[in-house]
Amino acid sequence: MRRPPKKPEEPTPAKEDIRVNERIRVPRVLVIDENGAKLGEFLTPDAIALAREKGFDLVEVAPTARPPVCRLTDYGRLKYDRKKKEAQARKNQAVQELKEIKIRPKTDQHDFDVKVRHVRRFLENGDKVKITVRFRGREIAHRDIGEAQCQKLFEAVQDLAIVSQTPKMEGRLMVAILTPTRRKPGGVGEKPTAPEEVNLQEG
């Protein structure tokens, strides 16, 4: 005997989906008027009729309350204002990048000064900066020189940053991270991408 075909399941409404007017299925609701005043409990059809009489929609604002709370408001305007706020929030969210500056234990003063200027520019823009000291050959035996280079750079930008990661070895590289003390304009969001590298001739 063949089984009857299953009825297609109705899609579950998203949690953010707001119920309005006839989509409100509960029998009774607590009604708040357009000015925020509590009008009391109504049968849902009566509450919908009241909203339409006043030129508004009945919008469910607290579905888990007992009874659910509904407000008389212009739903179209409510959606417009919400979308506008979300768009503005996305526009204002700046992205904090991780820039990278490479130095050598023997980087000369001129190149070092150029790198400091780049670091300051990145920090002023609100970005983190990764300082990488690359050791070649026997230089690896003189890590103290690399640490001294890092410290020298830290002191040159101490008015703009804090050291969020002190120098540590990663293979033949010494790595430190500077975090700006002021936020990037419009807020800060991390961008999980590879650090931008500034290629300058190394001493």
Q: Output the average pLDDT for the chain.
A: 83
At residue 192, the pLDDT reads: 40
What pLDDT, in 10s, does the model give residues 166-179?
A: 999 999 999 999 99
Residue owning tokens 């009241």: 50
Among 86-90, 106-110, 147-151, 182-186, which is the least confidently predicted range? 182-186
Structure tokens that stand for 118 in this block = 């780049």
* E-assigned strand segments in 74-193: 95-96, 98-103, 128-134, 161-170, 173-180, 189-190
Q: What is the pLDDT of residues 111-126, one digit of tens each?
A: 999 999 999 999 999 8
pLDDT tens column, 2-57: 555 554 444 444 445 789 999 999 999 999 999 999 999 999 999 999 999 999 99
Q: What are the tokens at 196?
A: 């931008």
Fold held by 95-198:
Translation Initiation Factor IF3 (3.30.110)
Q: Tell how far CA 181 is from the center of its chain.
A: 18
Numbered ranges of CATH 3.10.20.80 in the chain: 21-77
Residue 90's pLDDT is 76
Query: What is the CATH class of 21-77?
Result: alpha beta
What's 20's DSSP letter? B
Domain with CATH 3.30.110.10 in the chain: 95-198
Question: Is the separation of the CB atoms in 59 and 20 below 8 Å?
Answer: yes
Q: Is the pLDDT of residue 127 over 80?
A: yes
